[in-house]
């Protein structure tokens, strides 16, 4: 509890980064951060919502104004400057029923999505097509609505290093009753968004309806957040110039006042995040110690990095990907670890194994070490869109082959009940040993991992 949930930014998160850096130094790793340190800091701004000058103006057959902070809440991202406007589009159907969304229907539009089952499978597709904004339509009762970020008194955090709009579109929540009159102009009932779960995905424009987003915030404080980075130099004179990257995120969602979604339960108001992602952070530290104390160095160099800001939008890994402290072209793989301390005792989910030959190598390594009783399996939660939701995604977009390891979601996810006493430490130790053998195999192979051409085209772009 003393770490108060490790929100980004916070003194407690800084303390965690200092601890990780101290361990890296104790193991004899080289500093991999800025100016000869183990830290890479990126700038942040702490903001307060300005309700007096913030509106969402609706034009069409029935013009109107929504009061930002009251009728509609900004829950993620930052609206682009200049009060931009865009036509309204409603997404209907289900990702499970097939169908595709194209950029012409989404890019630059204000896109309405139903909040509820299936959202995690649809939202990443929509966000990747760069809408102007996303409106989540939800039938929240007053008790839940009052706890959401984005109210008139809310404090939020922005990552200015991502640039205007580069963090992704602003995401708002609007209640079903508020959106009802707007939808009526386009002949769509809010209730029908959920009723069409058996139909293919489609983008339905609301005819002649445009929304202008004039949402403003005032900067209260300039701050920063850290990544902690240590490097173990490889033993081969030529191959040590290439790197295998191990990542996990050391931040979590803090307390309710952090505005990241932590909700009080009884007397407990601290979301400790023992599994998410204390488990991955511990694994990266243990791997760093194991490799540093091994009798023989791997041929390639290894980078061990615990990042911050994952819960706010993959900020720390995104900053490193844009401002790498080693040449990103020389990073041959990212092995990302996020939530590996719970659920099945003898399996680990591996996201992204189908996109490169790293998946085949992993199966080979696991087969050689059956004594660990850890079987890599595929994505057991495709409806959750996990490929887009952890730090490996920022490296995949830059062309780095990835594997993302997780034992999956559970009822304690993002709750005050994600506590250390529920971690299966014995299983995590076996998993960490498997990761050691995999990392060694990747680092010692003569050839770099290879993307599958179709996956590269889909995720990175080009050929």
Q: What is the mean pLDDT of the segment spanning 188-215?
A: 80
Q: How far apart are CA 254 and CA 160, in angstroms?
A: 21
Of the candidates 150, 175, 143, 157, the residue with the CA atom closest to the CA atom of residue 264: 143
Q: What is the mean pLDDT of the segment spanning 49-58?
A: 83
Q: What are phi and psi of 270, to 5 degrees?
A: -115, 120
> 369-392 b/e with 16+ CB inside 10 Å = b?
eeebebebeebbeeebbbbbbbbb
| Residue 274, CB-side half-sphere exposure with 13 Å CA sphere | 19
Cα Rg of the chain, angstroms:
23
Q: How far apart are CA 180 and CA 206, in angstroms?
A: 12
User: 73 has which bridge partners?
Assistant: 173
Of the candidates 182, 169, 147, the residue with the CA atom closest to the CA atom of residue 66: 182
- The domain limits of the chain are 11-45+224-459, 51-215
Q: Which numeric CATH code is attached to 11-45+224-459?
A: 3.40.630.10
Q: What is the mean pLDDT of the segment spanning 434-448?
A: 99
Asked if residue 317 lies in contact with residue 229, where contact means CB atoms within 8 angstroms, the answer is no
Distance of CA 249 to the CA centre of its chain: 10
Q: How far apart are CA 131 and CA 321, in angstroms?
A: 23
Whether pLDDT at 25 is above 80: yes
pLDDT tens digits, 114-157: 888 777 778 888 988 889 999 999 988 888 888 777 776 667 88
pLDDT tens digits, 386-404: 999 999 999 999 999 999 9
Contact partners, residue 144, CB within 8 Å, separation at least 6: none
Give the model's pLDDT for residue 196: 60
Give the model's pLDDT for residue 357: 98
Architecture of domain 51-215: 3-Layer(bba) Sandwich (3.50)
Q: How far apart are CA 21 and CA 43, in angstroms?
A: 19
Select the more confidently predicted residue: 97 or 224: 224
Select the more confidently predicted residue: 19 or 184: 19
Q: How far apart are CA 314 and CA 162, in angstroms?
A: 11
Contact partners, residue 257, CB within 8 Å, separation at least 6: 155
Neighbours of 463 (CB within 10 A): 6
Give the model's pLDDT for residue 60: 83
User: 152 has which bridge partners?
Assistant: none
Of the candidates 228, 200, 167, the residue with the CA atom closest to the CA atom of residue 96: 200
């Amino acid at each position: 509890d003393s770490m108060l949930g490790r929100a980004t930014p916070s003194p407690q998160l800084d303390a965690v980064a200092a601890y990780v850096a101290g361990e890296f130094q104790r193991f004899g790793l080289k500093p991999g951060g800025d100016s000869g340190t183990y830290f890479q800091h990126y700038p942040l701004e702490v903001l307060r919502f300005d309700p007096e000058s913030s509106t969402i103006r609706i034009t069409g057959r029935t013009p109107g104004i929504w009061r930002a902070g009251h009728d509609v809440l900004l829950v993620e991202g930052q609206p682009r400057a200049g009060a931009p406007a865009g036509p309204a589009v409603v997404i209907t159907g289900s990702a499970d029923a097939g169908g595709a969304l194209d950029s012409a229907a989404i890019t630059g539009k204000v896109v309405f999505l139903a909040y509820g089952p299936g959202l995690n499978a649809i939202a990443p597709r929509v966000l990747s097509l760069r809408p102007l904004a996303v409106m989540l339509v939800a039938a929240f009762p007053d008790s839940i609505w009052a706890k959401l970020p984005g109210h008139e008194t809310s404090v939020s955090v922005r990552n200015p290093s991502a640039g205007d709009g580069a963090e992704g579109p602003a995401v708002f929540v609007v209640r079903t009753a508020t959106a009802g009159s707007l939808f009526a102009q386009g002949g769509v009932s809010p209730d029908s968004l959920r009723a069409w779960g058996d139909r293919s995905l489609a983008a339905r424009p609301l005819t002649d309806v445009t929304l202008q987003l004039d949402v403003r915030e005032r900067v209260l404080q300039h701050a920063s957040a850290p990544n902690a980075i240590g490097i173990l130099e490889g033993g081969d004179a030529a191959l040590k110039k290439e790197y295998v990257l191990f990542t996990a995120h050391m931040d979590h969602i803090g307390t309710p006042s952090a505005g990241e979604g932590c909700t009080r339960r009884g007397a407990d108001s601290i979301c400790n995040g023992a599994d998410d992602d204390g488990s991955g952070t511990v694994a990266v530290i243990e791997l760093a110690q194991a490799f540093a104390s091994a009798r023989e160095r791997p041929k390639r160099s290894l980078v061990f990095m615990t990042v911050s800001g994952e819960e706010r939008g993959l900020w720390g890994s995104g900053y490193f990907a844009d401002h790498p402290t080693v040449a990103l072209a020389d990073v041959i793989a990212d092995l990302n670890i996020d939530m590996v301390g719970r659920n099945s005792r003898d399996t680990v989910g591996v996201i992204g194994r189908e996109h490169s030959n790293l998946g085949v190598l992993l199966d080979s390594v696991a087969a050689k070490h059956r004594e660990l009783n850890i079987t890599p399996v595929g994505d057991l939660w495709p409806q959750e869109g996990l490929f887009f939701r952890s730090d490996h995604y920022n490296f995949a977009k830059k062309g780095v082959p990835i594997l993302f390891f997780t034992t999956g979601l559970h009822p304690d996810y993002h709750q005050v009940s994600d506590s250390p006493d529920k971690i299966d430490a014995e299983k995590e130790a076996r998993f960490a040993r498997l990761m050691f053998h995999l990392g060694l195999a990747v680092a010692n192979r003569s050839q770099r991992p290879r993307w599958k051409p179709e996956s590269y085209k889909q995720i990175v772009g080009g050929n």
